[in-house]
Amino acid sequence: MEQMGDEIQQQQQQDDSMIVATDDQVIDSDQEFQSNPFSQLFDSIRQAKTAAKRFKNANDFNETTLIGQMKRNSKLPAQTIPLDITQQELLINDVIQRTLLVTGDKYFSKRGHKISVRVPQTVVLLPLSDELPEKRCCLTLDIVDEALMERLTMNNIQANVVTFKPSEKSNNYQSYHVSTADVTESNAITYLFECHRRARLLLQEFSNDQQDSRRAVDKCKTILTTFVGSCLLTPDILEGQDTHRQLDSLLTDSQYSSAAELYEFLNDILISYPEVSDIKQIFEHGMLATFKVSSLKYDDMVPKLIRLCNYSQHDRLMKVVIESGHWLPRGANVSGKSYEQTVLGNLLCFSSIVPSLPLIQGFGFSMMHSPSPDFPNPMMMQPSQAEFTTNSLQSNRQFIVNLIHKIFKSSLKASADCQSASQMYFHELARDGFFLNLSAVLVRLCAPFMIISSPKLKKIDPSVCIKQNSTSARGIYKLNLHDETKLANQPSSAENNNAINGDAKFGFITEIFFITHKTLHLALPTVINTYKNLMERLAKFQNMVNTPGAFANPNFRQEFEAGVSQQLAMKAHLLDPNLLEPLLDFYNTTAAWMLQLSNEDGKHYDQININQELLSGSAKVPDKFAMLPEFIADSLSQFVIFLGHFAPKILEMRSAKLEPLVICISSLMGSLKYVKNPHVRAQLADALARLIPNKSDKLLLQEIFLNSKQMQDSLALAVLNVFVDMERTDNSVEFEQKFSYRHNIYDILEYLWTVPVYKDKIIELSNEVTVDERGLKDVIFLRFIHLLINDAVFLLDEALSNLSEIKKLQHELSQEDLSNQAKQEKLQQLKFSSRMALSLNVLGNQTVHALTLLTQSIVRPFVEIGMVDRISSMLNYFAVQLAGPKANSFKVKDFSEFHFKPDQLICNIAQIYIRLGQSERFCKAIQEDERSYTPQLFYQIERVLNKLSRLDIVEDFKQLHDRVNKFAAEKKELDASMPEPPEEFLDPIMNTLMVDPVILPTSGTIIDRATIVRHLLSCQNDPFNRQPLHLDDIVPHQELKERIDQWLKDNNIIPSN
């Protein structure tokens, strides 16, 4: 026994010499010192030796300190003390030790591998180790609470760290390294979360057969979350610790955003504390920070979003947020601005768009607003800098929208207040960025069912658009969809369904679909117009830069820079592909859905016969389609127009999927029954013009037009329908406005004429112009060419009139004796006339060009009775204006400024003359035009063609001239011998001899067929009483015609045979 005591004392002296040396001694060699566990806490041997010197005079080390523990461990060899623990106790100790990173074994550094299955090489020695028997120094579930409390209240954790260093012969699996930072974590909530995370990993490690270990882990997790609640409900128990702030730091850490370990941690807390009052108190700090309306800076918003995203994964926690009164504004009458002050509204306002762009007179870019903070000095930025800033803004916005989408999605599951999707509907008075972000989130919520092939599309119930609540506006009824203008004329059956029904309920898919469309309708038209106006103002401002003295105004550069800054900022949000591509997909699927509704059988969009089911005059609008609000088609078309103008690459990139969109736009555009508003149809035509593959940036779109059988069968008819219907809209389309609408249709027509299959379809429609026993058949192509001629006459006549006025004003302004006031007045007149001339010439050139194209392959409809005199008189009139003596009155200083192309016009007119000159009726009609035709006219045209070196058409034109002269000579001879016709043989309007008299059934008036045909092609009513009248209604007056013919024979005007 004495010998053993001497050995222990000798071992103690040896160990002491390894730890501390006197002033005259030297610390042991690096190799020997490194073997001491004490050294494992430091980054280098040198640091460990320095620390050891600080304890060299210590005679009695505290047993609960690191150095004291090292000394105590060296007094008695651990292997001499037998252990008395069962295998189950060993497993439980192992779970607690690995979870909490603590130990109750004073000899851990020597025998850690004997009391653990797997040994964390670094742990904290607890004070309770003094109370545990040396043979049974293991941690049990009965003392976990005490162990955890000792660890949390420990003042000097670092001083109680002990380290186990496995021998070289030990199994590597038996021990593992743990970072000192994890072991010594001092923040209570962070430590408890990490313990919970380690417990979660242990559960994944243990198999289902290891039930004892798994139960121990579950017990530890329960205790841990209970302690979390205790620390937050009574934070004073841990002196010097702000546990609420610690929890919030955890909730706002981006590395744990939506992480499984944090989700389980919060979920276990909520299980341990189910009472709402406890939940509110536990998460009080974070919720107050969430409810506070903060700045719109990215760095301020991200922590709030991450915190809210973590809340949203737990129904009970999210329910507390939603019911707090900060989620959505409460009350019957709330404005959009009220939404911006809520939790969600504030987050949705994140945008680079400068709020409320100026609408004051002038440009006003900096009078009311400073430049965007994201683009403070746009004139000094390199393109690469602007692109980098734009990409950064778009990336940040997309990250925020992704998080908001997760929150929205979770909130719908969390509370009854949000189970109705319409609770997310916001009013009109909110900023552009708010609406764009809200639209992006809503579109993403629709994404799971907005798939063209998805059967869920059929779950969208359009009857929600005609129902209203009998008591109060709740749920989807808050949108007041029943008050919205409907896209089509409602049939009586749909009107009967429009009854007050307080019991009707609609599914989430229906609600979120129509809410999304309503939000897009509130967002897109406004923000698109704002951006277009901004671009137009900048373009005008840019033109001013080149004027003399532009920078004399000290505010000029500041104004311009502010405008450019705002444009770049708005572009970064509005033209973000992450925003536009999902919106385009949403509208494309909406188009497919609308086409399904357009037929009673609900056929897939590519199964529909467009001509019979939508474009036919006998087509019947299905009840479900008649329920749709007009704003869906309106917003859809505006969005496509916007993409075509500002982001054509988006259309090109998505071209492979856009067949439903193209078919829907073209079909609705051509159907007066399905779209009753002519303005919406004209807008759809504009949208289709943006999709036409007539430019290099739309080449991929041509696959749809070239390969779609539906498009090939229906597009030509749809284009003619919308062109004609612009004329018969009961004054809802202003006279001048219809020309701007038709501008887009000309672009479509020009493309169709270049594609053989579409050109053949147009020719096929022209062949429908026939004459039967009742006269000329009223078909769409006849009305189309009649309106083309009318437009050409009006547009070119007005254009030439304005050019004549411009020439006069230019001459007057060149006079030196003009007063300043008179000069300013004439400049204003010149500005107005110039703008008008430019617009009229553009449209007039397009109209004449369309006639030139059509007459390449189509002649007969133009030379039928009622048409031939119109086309011939038009050609004669403009030939006189452009080739005759009056041509000098249009010679303004710069033709190109007004898009005036007289040479091209006269060549087009000559080509139309030649092609229609194949008809004898046309040749006669030319020389019968007493208003414009003279024998000198064709000589004047030939002179101009020779001057232009158009030898390719001069010879053909001379041959036409010869034929016209022949008929002119015959007419002259006939006129000389013709007596005055009887009164009853004269047309009541033209006062000329009737050739084919007809009776108007509505008024009983007898009139020449050619006269009434011209009238009815423009206006379908009786000119004598304004009653409705159609071409098919007029009745041939055969008896009068026979008497006229006999009178002509009797006077030798026509042969008697």
pLDDT in tens, 286-316: 888 877 766 778 888 888 888 888 888 888 8
Q: How much is the average pLDDT of 765-769?
A: 92
Percent of the chain whose pLDDT exceeds 90: 42
Write the pLDDT tens digit of every residue in 82-101: 677 788 888 888 899 999 99
Cα torsion 196, 202, 204, 207: sign: negative
Closest CA to 733 of 772, 676, 812: 676
Return the DSSP state at 54.
T
Residues 727, 483: Cα–Cα separation, whole Å:
28
Q: What is the bridge-based pairing of β-strands 997-999 and 775-776?
A: unpaired
Helices (H), 323-371: 336-340, 343-348
Instruction: Determine the pLDDT at residue 51.
Output: 38
Instruction: Determine the pLDDT at residue 473.
Output: 52
Judge contact between 815 and 895, C-beta under 8 A: no
Instruction: Determine the pLDDT at residue 420.
Output: 43
CA-atom Rg of the chain in angstroms = 44
Write the pLDDT tens digit of every residue in 124-141: 999 888 888 777 788 889
Assigned token pair, 489? 């004329």
Helices and strands: H and E segment counts in the chain:
44, 10
Q: How much is the average pLDDT of 522-551?
A: 80
Weakest mean pLDDT among 67-76, 138-147, 872-881: 67-76
- CA torsion angle for 383, 386, 390, 392 (degrees, to 10)? 110
Instruction: Determine the pLDDT at residue 625.
Output: 93
pLDDT at 8 over 60: no
Weakest mean pLDDT among 197-211, 308-322, 474-488, 883-897: 474-488
Instruction: Determine the pLDDT at residue 345.
Output: 80
Residues 651, 431: Cα–Cα separation, whole Å:
27
Is the pLDDT higher at 214 or at 365?
Answer: 214
pLDDT at 323 over 50: yes
Weakest mean pLDDT among 234-243, 470-479, 524-533: 470-479
Judge contact between 605 and 661, C-beta under 8 A: no
Q: How much is the average pLDDT of 663-686?
A: 93
Assigned token pair, 615? 């474009």
pLDDT at 357 over 70: no
Q: How much is the average pLDDT of 568-580?
A: 95
- Please return the burial class of 68, using the count of CB atoms within 10 Å of its CB with bins 0-12, 13-18 and 19+: middle
pLDDT at 629 over 90: yes
Residue 1056's CB is within 10 A of a number of other CB atoms, namely 8
Confidence of residue 68 (pLDDT cuts 50, 70, 90): very low
All residues at 6 or more sequence positions from 561 whose CB lies less than 8 Å from its CB, including other chains: 365, 366, 371, 377, 378, 379
Judge contact between 586 and 636, C-beta under 8 A: no
Cα torsion 182, 188, 194, 200: sign: positive
Q: How much is the average pLDDT of 136-154?
A: 89
Rounded (10°) angle between helices 298-312 and 383-414: 30
Q: If you average pLDDT over each of 46-60, 201-215, 322-336, 903-917, which comes out highest? A: 903-917
Residues 347, 362: Cα–Cα separation, whole Å:
33
Q: What is the mean pLDDT of the chain?
A: 82
Weakest mean pLDDT among 266-270, 888-892, 1016-1020, 1034-1038: 1016-1020
Instruction: Determine the pLDDT at residue 356.
Output: 59
Judge contact between 782 and 776, C-beta under 8 A: yes
Q: What angle do CA 472, 475, 481 make, to 5 degrees?
A: 80
Residues 272, 763: Cα–Cα separation, whole Å:
79
Instruction: Determine the pLDDT at residue 271.
Output: 93
Confidence of residue 613 (pLDDT cuts 50, 70, 90): confident
pLDDT at 912 over 90: yes
Confidence of residue 685 (pLDDT cuts 50, 70, 90): very high
> Residue 738: helix, strand or coil by DSSP?
helix
Weakest mean pLDDT among 42-46, 458-462, 512-516, 566-570: 42-46
Confidence of residue 410 (pLDDT cuts 50, 70, 90): confident
Confidence of residue 857 (pLDDT cuts 50, 70, 90): very high
Percent of the chain whose pLDDT exceeds 70: 82
Three-class SS of 576-601: CHHHHHHHHHHHHHHHHHHHHHCCCC
Residues 465, 479: Cα–Cα separation, whole Å:
9
Bridge partners of residue 102, in order along the sequence: 124
Residues 779, 781: Cα–Cα separation, whole Å:
6
Judge contact between 285 and 189, C-beta under 8 A: no
Tokens 């019911």 correspond to 323
Judge contact between 316 and 273, C-beta under 8 A: no
